[in-house]
Amino acid sequence: MDARRRDGPRQTGRVPTDDAPAAPPAAATATPAPDAPATTAALDGEHPLVRRSLEVLGQLLTGAGGSSSTAGGFVEAHLGQPHTSLVLERVALTHTRSVSVGAVVADLLAAHPSAVLGPVEDGEAPTWTRIDLDGDHVSVPTSAAVAFPAGTAADVDVVVQLSRSEFDPDPASLRVLARPADHAAARALVDEVLATARRDKGFFRGRVLHAGARLPLELQPTSLGPGGREDLVLPAAVWAEVDAATSALTTRADVLREMGLGTNRGVLLAGPPGVGKSALSRVVAREMAGAFTVVVVDAAAASSVLRQVYRETADLGPCVVVLEDVDLYLGDRRAGARGTALADFLAVLDGTEVYTDVLTLASTNDPAALDAAVTRSARFDSTITLAPPDRAASARILDRYLGRLPAADAGDDGEQRPRVDTAAVAAALPAGATGADLREVVRRAVLDHGRDLTTERLLRVVADGRWKAEPLTGTYL
């Protein structure tokens, strides 16, 4: 990660070249740039905005055209021809790819001191974006132009531009500008940058990422917090189903690929609110992170960026995509559901777009509300239904939550006893109480009594019904 901790990239302006011939003279139409080496040196160390203000002021006072302050002027100054007579090789970038491509361009800039950084938007300073990676960070140019003299990034003079697109579904683009005779070299540079980015700059691979809801899509590294299987009380059959689904991407992936059966899997977790669907997704995601990249997509994000999320997976290696509460945005055509989310979903899961090595873990309260095409085999090839725990399981869940409570004094037989008879508390709860309800019972009791919990105190909370969210009564104006 050579691009890390880059401070103060070189700003617009010709700097003395040391590893390449001087850039060609400015085009006949362009006035000489006022930012001569002496000016540049005088502004060294100033804040970019101060530099830019002084540059513009200098241009006004000298009557110079300010060629290198506009994106077009910067390109013309370095390639010596009007912008419109150059060739431009362009490629759209997903968010993941824009970060890795930015890191490659940053490395090229660092390796060639004669390269010059400039604007890609008129009047905008080149922009570097910092991405936090578990305490470490990488800073990459996201909106910038870099003029590379011949013999540096390529054999010929080129200007490399990176830009973010606010209104495009493609989050970013990489462009290389060159003189028409150098078109092949520009194309080769694009290929080389993309290949290096893919090979050496997979910053997001193996991480847990959160998909933002706004277009263009941005993936933010995030954390799932602690917790493993031991924290969740679920029937053995549920874990067996989960293991069968994940093995498609772990132990059995090679066989499936050889047989042309595809390695994509979809698992739908169904069940009423609070039975642990999201908690189970998190446990699976935690287990698979590292070898797999995990992308968590909440309902708000999925309704707008689902297709973009699956496109990102091409650069992320084997992935687990966690889709929360799919019924909120997928719906059923028979019930009048319309919109792009359903169409996107059908396209990306075993539809017109083909992705490999993606496990989709989706959850819903209401599988019956989903379109038949959503649940057909090869989209979700297994549905795991989670039910509220029975009494024995409820007692075990209470044991988990009360696990850190100190034992009561030893009884007559010398045995240490737990302070709380969890079986008795579980028996007092109404049928259908979920894991989330049990957690709330313990939480309420802790709010009232701190660590000093007893069977009676928990039974009182259960009897009072204060663990349930009660609808407000009375008149509120």
Ligand X SMILES: Nc1ncnc2c1ncn2[C@@H]1O[C@H](COP(=O)(O)OP(=O)(O)OP(=O)(O)O)[C@@H](O)[C@H]1O
> Interface residues with ligand X (CB under 6 A)?
232-234, 271, 273-279, 363, 365, 389, 397, 400, 434-436, 439
Considering only residues 26 to 65 of the shown chain, the ones binding Mg ion according to CB under 5 A are none
Nearer to ligand X, 197 or 386 (CB): 386
Nearer to ligand X, 16 or 227 (CB): 227
Which residue intervals of 5-68 are DSSP H helices?
37-43, 48-62
Nearest distance, CB of residue 281 and Mg ion, angstroms = 8
Nearer to ligand X, 439 or 457 (CB): 439
Tell me whether residue 105 or residue 295 sits nearer to Mg ion (CB atom): 295
Nearer to ligand X, 146 or 268 (CB): 268
Q: Residue 56's binding partner, choosing from Mg ion, ligand X, none, with beta-carbon cut-off 5 to 8 A by kind?
A: none
Within 98-135, strands assigned E span 116-118, 127-133
Q: Per CB under 5 A, does 173 bind Mg ion?
A: no
Q: What is the smallest separation between the CB atom of 365 and Mg ion, expressed in angstroms?
A: 8
Which of 308, 311, 344 has its CA nearest to residue 326? Answer: 344
Using CB under 5 A, pick the residue from 98, 152, 278, 434 that binds Mg ion. Answer: 278
The count of C-alpha atoms lying within 13 angstroms of the C-alpha of 141, restricted to the half-sphere facing its C-beta, is: 28
Rg (CA), the chain: 30
- What is the torsion angle, in degrees rounded to the nearest 10, for the CA atoms of residue 334, residue 335, residue 339 and residue 344? -60
Query: With CB cut-offs between 5 and 8 Å by kind, which of ligand X, Mg ion, none does residue 436 bind?
Result: ligand X
Beta bridge partners of 116: 147
- CB of residue 66 to ligand X, shortest distance in Å: 56
Pairwise CA distance, residues 369 & 360, whole Å: 19
Where b means 16+ CB within 10 Å and e means fewer, 393-431 reads: bbbebbbbbbeebeeeeeeeeeeeeebbbbbebbebbee
Q: How far is the CB of 320 from Mg ion (least distance, A)?
A: 16
The residues that bridge with 138 in the sheet, in sequence order, are 131
Task: Pick between residue 213 and residue 256 the one whose CB is nearest to ligand X.
Answer: 213
**Cα–Cα dist 92/96, whole Å:** 12
Q: Which of Mg ion, ligand X, none has residue 146 at its interface (CB below 5 to 8 Å by kind)? A: none
Report in angstroms how near the CB of residue 252 gets to ligand X at its nearest.
27
Task: Residue 220: name its binding partner from Mg ion, ligand X, none (Cβ under 5 to 8 Å by kind).
Answer: none
Backbone φ and ψ of 464, nearest 5°: -65, -20
Measured from the CB of residue 434, what is the shortest distance to ligand X in angstroms? 6
**Could you tell me the CA-to-CA distances from 349 to 306, 334, 336, 461 in Å, in that order?**
10, 20, 21, 46
Kindly tell me which of 88 and 436 has the beta carbon lying closer to ligand X. 436
Which region among 108-116, 272-280, 374-382, 433-441 touches Mg ion (by CB under 5 A)?
272-280
**Residue 391: which of Mg ion, ligand X, none does it interact with, CB under 5 to 8 A by kind?**
none
Distance CA 340, CA 223 (A): 29
Rounded least distance, CB 8 to ligand X, Å:
45
Contact 382, 268 (CB under 8 A): yes
Q: CA-to-CA distance for 323 and 307, rounded, in angstroms?
A: 12
Tell me the closest approach of the beta carbon of residue 275 to ligand X, in angstroms: 5
Which residue has its beta carbon closest to Mg ion?
278
The string over 6-34, giving b where at least 16 C-beta atoms fall within 10 Å of a residue's C-beta and e elsewhere, is: beebbbbbbbebeebeebeebbeebbebb
Q: Which is nearer to Mg ion, 280 or 461 (CB)?
A: 280
Positions that interact with Mg ion (CB under 5 A): 277-278
